[in-house]
Structure 1
């Protein structure tokens, strides 16, 4: 049977810049890193190679 486990991992979000109503952050966790965009409400709009918000 599947189990759900939580564990603490090192993550950082560093503010990069704002373009219109979007804010961009550099995300890093272990060796994975990417740039995500967040809307004016703080919701993630684009998480490259993971998902993009569909309008």
Structure 2
């Protein structure tokens, strides 16, 4: 992923990873990591995130 700072437009490569955890019905769960942040996200059968805990 690339982060672009506004208004300077400076870009920075941001390391992140997704690890498959399990499938429950039509939902798939992945462990997401970026720097010191880690959470479990839930994806529906269309590939859309349906649950992304600890976000505003």
The alignment's TM-score, normalised by the length of structure 1, stands at: 0.80
Separation in 2, partners of 1:40, 1:16: 15
Cα-to-partner distance string for 1:10-51 (whole Å, 9 max, x where unaligned)? 100000000010000000001100000000000000000116
The alignment of Structure 1 onto Structure 2 pairs a total of residues equal to 50
Cα RMSD after superposing both structures: 1.4
The alignment's TM-score, normalised by the length of structure 2, stands at: 0.79
Task: Verify: 1:13 aligned to 2:18, yes or no.
Answer: yes
TM superposition outliers: structure 1 runs of 4+ over 3 Å: none
Q: Which has the higher strand share?
A: 2
Q: CA deviation at 1:6?
A: 3.4
